[in-house]
């Protein structure tokens, strides 16, 4: 079966583009399951229940979050009630939300996903390796296919997690840094890996935010509102082929859809 994993969806430009591109991409690539990191979906930081519903309606089966998870506190009601969205697995037990999520798909296959945060240049959290082990132990027997969102600042954190989990999960896919890396590979044991799958949002930006605002603050140290940018919106992620009998990945491919590509697909179906 084929899984599409989307990197951080940023602001309304990212949400709107995913809403228009995803149905087309799903059909063109015969995607069976879509997983997305949506920690930046509402105004660039956090996600509201309304945005969550929009993303689910757009065809996203499972949603992971990251360090921005509680920036829109309204999401805690969804985190408590809905079983398709999870919080980082290495947050403390008191943190609202589930440590992993499951989707029973129409093709009869169940896919699981969870997210862990890195610890380098980020707020201190529990051990991502131990948290991943605990999530896998809790998932035992529930899903053959497990996808892990490695939400980390440092590339080494993501490589370490991928090698810790190789042969035990279908894929370890990086998010949080918003810039796609060209290192997709299948690790020994059938684990697909890409250090960062890129963001779904405006690329004419500084990681999704207005260039003028971020640049002026970086130079002058005077704070400004880092509003979400608008130009050159792209969907970015990875497509992973998984053997549903074994839960092992057989292929990984980077996918980027920009506005021109989507317009072409819509003009020439
Ligand atoms: Fe992000
Ligand atoms: Fe993040």
Q: What is the pLDDT of residues 73-125, one digit of tens each?
A: 999 999 999 999 999 999 999 999 999 999 999 999 999 999 999 999 999 99
Q: What is the pLDDT of residue 268?
A: 82
With cut-offs at 50, 70 and 90, classify the pLDDT of residue 192: very high
Report, as residue numbers or ranges, the catalytic residues: 68
pLDDT mean over 168-185: 98
Q: Compute the distance from residue 26 Cα to the ligand 2 centre, in Å.
A: 26
Ligand 2 center from residue 268 Cα (angstroms): 36
CA of 201 to the centre of ligand 2 (A): 14
> Which class for 14: exposed (0-12), middle (13-18), buried (19 or more C-beta within 10 A)?
buried
b/e for 98-110, b at 16 or more Cβ within 10 A? bbbbbbeeeeebe
Nearest ligand, CA 9: 1
Ligand in nearest proximity to the CA of 236:
1
Percentage of the residues of the chain whose pLDDT score is greater than 90: 99
Return the pLDDT at 222. Answer: 97
């Amino acid at each position: 079966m084929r899984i599409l994993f989307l990197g951080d969806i940023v602001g309304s430009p990212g949400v709107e583009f995913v809403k228009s591109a995803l149905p087309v991409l799903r059909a063109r690539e015969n995607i069976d399951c879509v997983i997305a990191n949506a920690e930046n979906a509402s105004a660039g930081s956090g996600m509201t229940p309304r945005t969550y519903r929009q993303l689910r309606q757009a065809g996203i089966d499972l949603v992971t979050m990251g360090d921005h998870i509680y920036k829109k506190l309204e999401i805690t009601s969804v985190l408590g009630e809905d079983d398709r969205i999870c919080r980082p697995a290495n947050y403390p037990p008191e943190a609202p939300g589930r440590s992993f999520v499951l989707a029973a798909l129409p093709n009869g296959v169940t896919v699981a996903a969870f997210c862990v945060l890195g610890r380098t240049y980020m707020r201190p959290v529990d051990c991502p390796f131990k948290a991943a082990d605990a999530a896998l132990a809790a998932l035992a027997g529930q899903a053959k296919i497990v996808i892990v969102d490695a939400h980390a600042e440092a590339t080494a954190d993501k490589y370490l997690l991928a090698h810790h989990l190789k042969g035990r999960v279908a894929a370890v896919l990086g998010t949080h840094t918003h810039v796609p890396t060209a290192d997709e590979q299948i690790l020994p044991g059938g684990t697909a890996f890409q250090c960062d799958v890129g963001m779904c949002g405006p690329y004419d930006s500084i990681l999704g935010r207005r260039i003028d605002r971020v640049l002026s603050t970086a130079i002058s140290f005077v704070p400004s509102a880092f509003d979400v940018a608008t130009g050159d919106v792209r969907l970015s992620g990875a497509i992973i082929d998984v053997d549903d009998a074994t839960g092992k990945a057989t292929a990984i491919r980077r996918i980027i859809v920009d506005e021109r590509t989507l317009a072409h697909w819509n003009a020439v179906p």
